[in-house]
Structure 1
Amino acid sequence: MNNSMKRLIVPLLAGAAALAMTTGIAQAQQKKTIALVTNVAADFWTIAGRGLEKAQKEHPDYNIELIVTNEGTAAGQRRELDDLLVRGVAGISISVDDAPHATEELNKVAAKTVLITTDSDAPQSNRLAYIGTDNVAAGRQAGEEIKKALPNGGKIALFVGTMDADNARERVQGIKESIAGTKVELVDVFTDQVDFAKAKANMENVLVKYPDIALLSGLWSYETPLIYDAVKAAGKAGKVKIVGFDEDQRTLRGISDGTIESTVVQQPYEFGYLSATNIIKTLNGDKSWIPKDSKLIVPTKVISKANVAEFAANLKDLLKK
């Protein structure tokens, strides 16, 4: 992936634009804007956008935007945040790519607007709260699925965009905790900086370097579909097991056809909806929604062959809107 910024601001409701035109430019300009900044382009964030749409319908007096970027770096997100500050937005929710290197920028944002994190946290920053998954617990959940897939143990490899992100480190931590003391051996964690070509090369190289590899697991939403492709291309479908994270359509198809054992899914719809509505509550002076530890946890669940058909049908409804 090149270094140029791939950026998309997703309009949530066409009706909002029509309403602005009919009520006059002056009134439209008085609307406060709330934005959710992603860390990658994926169906995961499309679903989060559906949650934002629900919030938009409930709060037509606000402009609510989903800003999708493919550049998984602190520098890329810094440009997005600076642009939002220049625009004078009232609240920002962000999935932080590189928390240690983003703290200064996040603190600058938090001093000027309501800032929360979602999906990937930056607890050392001055963000108001985190809304999303307990990623250590979710990692343990994935670890249990790995152990279930390998009752006699075996070598595994993990793949993720960057270990600079809190959610990546915490998921790996949870998996390591779950497999500790077992015959499951983690050979390495491979990163790709959200470069799909590099991710694919990582997977192909692992399949060659470790001919006895027993299982591959992708910890960001785009990873598992690429693993699915790599395993099938190598003629090792069914021989090398796969455990995923998140709900990409190809991941669900892989579970349906038996190529993928299972996947741990989050609830991005709730990430979007709760981000917008709780920022609005805060802007209205209500901070009672913030837990004592500043983490509003949205639970995860496991999707396997037993429940994939129902889950996929519900997901299809969300994505087709």
Structure 2
Amino acid sequence: MKKLLTTWFASTLLLAAASVSPAMAADKEIAVIVKTANSDFWQNVKKGANDGVGGLKGYTASFQGAASDTDLAGQVALVENAVNRKVAAIVLAPSDPDALIPAMKKAWEAKIPVILIDSAASKSGESYYQSFLATDNEKAGELCAQALIAKVGTTGKIAIMSYTAGSGSEIGRVGGFRKYIEKHSKLQVVGPFYSNSQMGTALNQTTDVLAANADLKGIFGANEPTAIGMGRALVQAGKAGKVAAIGFDGNGDLQGFVKDGTIEAIAVQSAYQMGSLGVKTAVEVIQGKKVPKFRDTGVVMVTKKNIDSPEAKNVLY
């Protein structure tokens, strides 16, 4: 009797294992690791990743961000943890072009594909990632400069409110803005000032800039929290609609500023597309498919005139 029970118990365990092992085998994790989870922009990346992975049989997506854009050690730890738990792939928005390269190398050595989104790594890290999906930030910066010149002309004083010094997207975006201003106008530039993507810091910095430059004609807020802080400072100082403002990204606060005239235009990236296409590209690499080294996810200049258009609604969040 004891032998029969033992045989029955062993058979039951085998059947149970057989019934769950296919589901476990199918549960391949794609780790989406961004600069910080604390903004609507990155939450829209998360939404895109979740929706994108929903159509990929056998994969799930996890989502994590560092405590802040400047928490490089925290982001490195997230990547290393993903490597240690042997995820299927990593979709990464590096907060610094150099600091994440050693962790990316560890993923490469573990044969874990890395797809970069939003911000680039430096050239020394090119062999450790398979594709880079982002807005052409230099071109987007140029578009913002064009919009500001169209509003204020080619002479006078403008300010740049930036976010994290040295991040790949900031270098391209603010660099493209400045190059265009210098080439096509005689505008005097105040700044850039770095908010480290903290809305409150951007608000205080913009308040100080407005107080110290009564003759300021225009201002550029180079990412979501910075542009929100800039917009709120303009309102509080009574300068909304008087100092021409161009922002970047497209959450509800910034849409409100465009509609009420506080901000003339916002350059909106497709954060959703970065998340969705990021996980899909990762799976293509896993499947051995050839993917382009760079994929432009686009940018749309949104104004009061086109904010309700299908093109704008496809990127606003």
1:154 matched to 2:151? The reply is no
Q: Which runs of 5+ in 1 are unaligned?
A: 1-22
Q: 1:259 to 1:312 in 2, by over 3 A?
A: farther
**2:35 aligns with one of 17, 33, 39:** 39
In the TM superposition, what whole-angstrom CA distance separates every residue of 1:145-194 from its partner, at most 9, and x where no partner exists?
Answer: 11112125321221222122011011111111211241322111111223
2:139 matched to 1:140? no
| Distance in 1 of aligned mates of 2:303 and 2:198 | 28
Checking the alignment, whether the CA contact within 8 Å between 1:95 and 1:119 is kept in structure 2 is yes
Deviation digits for residues 281-301 of structure 1 (CA, Å, limit 9, x no counterpart): 1111112x22xxx21112211
Q: 1:48 to 1:311 in 2, by over 3 A?
A: farther
Structure 2 equivalent of residue 58 of structure 1:
55
The answer (yes or no) to whether the contact 2:300–2:312 under 8 Å persists in 1 is no
CA distance in 1, matches of 2:215, 2:262: 17
Cα distance, 1:192–1:110 mapped onto 2, change above 3 Å: farther
Report how many aligned residue pairs link the two structures: 292
Alignment match, 2:232: 229
The answer on whether the counterparts of 2:227 and 2:254 sit within 8 Å (CA) in structure 1 is yes
Percent identity between matched residues is: 25
Please name the residue that 1:117 is paired with: 116
What residue identity is the alignment partner of 1:90? A
Structure 1 stretches of 4+ with a deviation exceeding 4 A read none
Instruction: Tell me which residue corresponds to 2:7.
Output: none
Partner of 1:153: helix, strand, or coil? coil
- Aligned counterpart, 1:174: 176
Letter aligned with residue 245 of structure 1 = F
How far the C-alpha of 1:313 sits from its partner, in A, is 8.3
Residue 266 (structure 2) pairs with residue 270 (structure 1):
no
Q: Would you say 1:29 and 2:24 are equivalent positions?
A: yes
Q: Could you tell me whether the CA contact under 8 Å between 2:116 and 2:132 is conserved in 1?
A: yes
Between the aligned partners of 2:24 and 2:80, the Cα distance in structure 1 is 20
SS in 2 for 1:190: strand
Which residue of structure 1 aligns with residue 263 of structure 2?
Answer: 260
The amino acid across from 1:121 in the alignment is A
Distance change >3 Å, CA 311–CA 235, structure 1 → 2? farther
Change (3 A) 1:260 1:234: same
Structure 1 window deviating more from structure 2 (188-197 vs 133-142): it is: 188-197
Q: Gaps (5+ residues) in structure 2? A: 1-17
* Cα drift, residue 315 of structure 1: 6.1
Task: Identify the residue that residue 199 of structure 1 maps to in structure 2.
Answer: 202
Matched, 1:208 2:208: no
Compute the TM-score of the two structures, normalised by the length of structure 2.
Answer: 0.86
Look up the match of 2:300.
Answer: 301
Deviation at 1:215, TM superposition (A): 1.6
Q: Note the alpha carbon deviations across 1:34-53, whole angstroms, 9 max, x for none.
A: 02111132222222223222
Answer whether contact 1:225 1:248 (CA < 8 A) is retained.
Answer: no
TM-score by length of 1: 0.85
For 1:109-155, what per-residue CA distance to the aligned partner results, in whole angstroms no more than 9, with x for missing partners? 23221011101111421221211111111111111111112125321
1:202 counterpart letter in structure 2:
Q
Larger Rg: 2
Distance 1:194 1:70, change over 3 A: farther
Deviates more, 1:82-91 or 1:42-51: 42-51
Backbone CA RMSD of aligned residues: 2.1
